[in-house]
A = this chain, B = another copy of it.
Amino acid sequence: MEVKENMSVLDLIEEMGKSGVLGAGRVSKATQLFADSIKDEDTSIFLSVAGPMVPGGLRKIIFDLINDGFVDVLITSGANITHDLVESFGGGHYRGISADDEELQKHGMGRIGDVYTKSHDFEVFEEKISEILSKIAEKKKIISIREFLFEIGNMIEDENSILKIAAEKGVPIYAPGIIDSMLGLQLWMFTQDKELHLDAVGDMHELSDIVFDAKKVTAVLLGGGLPKHYALASNLLKGGVDAAIQVTMDRSETGSLSGAPLEEAKSWAKAKAGSNLVTVIGDVTIIFPMMVAGAREIIAR
Do B200 and A200 touch across chains, with their CB atoms under 8 A apart? yes
Which A residues, 193 to 213, have Cβ-Cβ distances below 8 Å to chain B? 197-201, 204-205
Contacts of A9 in B (CB 8 A): 7-9, 11-12
Cβ of A230 to closest chain B Cβ, rounded Å: 5
Contacts of A284 in B (CB 8 A): 23, 254
Do B273 and A95 touch across chains, with their CB atoms under 8 A apart? no
Contacts of A293 in B (CB 8 A): 3-5, 7, 12
Do A201 and B205 touch across chains, with their CB atoms under 8 A apart? no
Do A95 and B20 touch across chains, with their CB atoms under 8 A apart? yes
Contacts of A282 in B (CB 8 A): 23, 282-283, 286
Do A102 and B273 touch across chains, with their CB atoms under 8 A apart? yes
Copies of this chain, count: 4
Chain A residues bordering chain B, tally (CB within 8 A): 111
Do A1 and B101 touch across chains, with their CB atoms under 8 A apart? no
Among A8, A23, A191, A284, residue most surrounded by chain B Cβ atoms (within 10 Å): A23
Give A282's nearest chain B residue, CB to CB. Answer: B282
Alpha-carbon distance between A100 and B266 when the two chains are bound, in angstroms: 9
Do A111 and B264 touch across chains, with their CB atoms under 8 A apart? yes
Pairs A–B under 8 Å by Cβ, sample size 6: A3-B296, A16-B285, A24-B289, A25-B285, A51-B256, A55-B255
Could you list which residues of chain A lie within 8 angstroms of chain B, going by C-beta atoms? 1-9, 11-12, 15-16, 18-25, 27, 50-52, 55-58, 60-61, 64, 79, 93, 95-96, 100-102, 104-105, 109-115, 142, 176-177, 179-180, 184-185, 187-188, 191-192, 197-201, 204-205, 223-226, 229-230, 233, 236, 249-260, 263-269, 273-274, 280-287, 289-290, 292-293, 296-297, 299-300
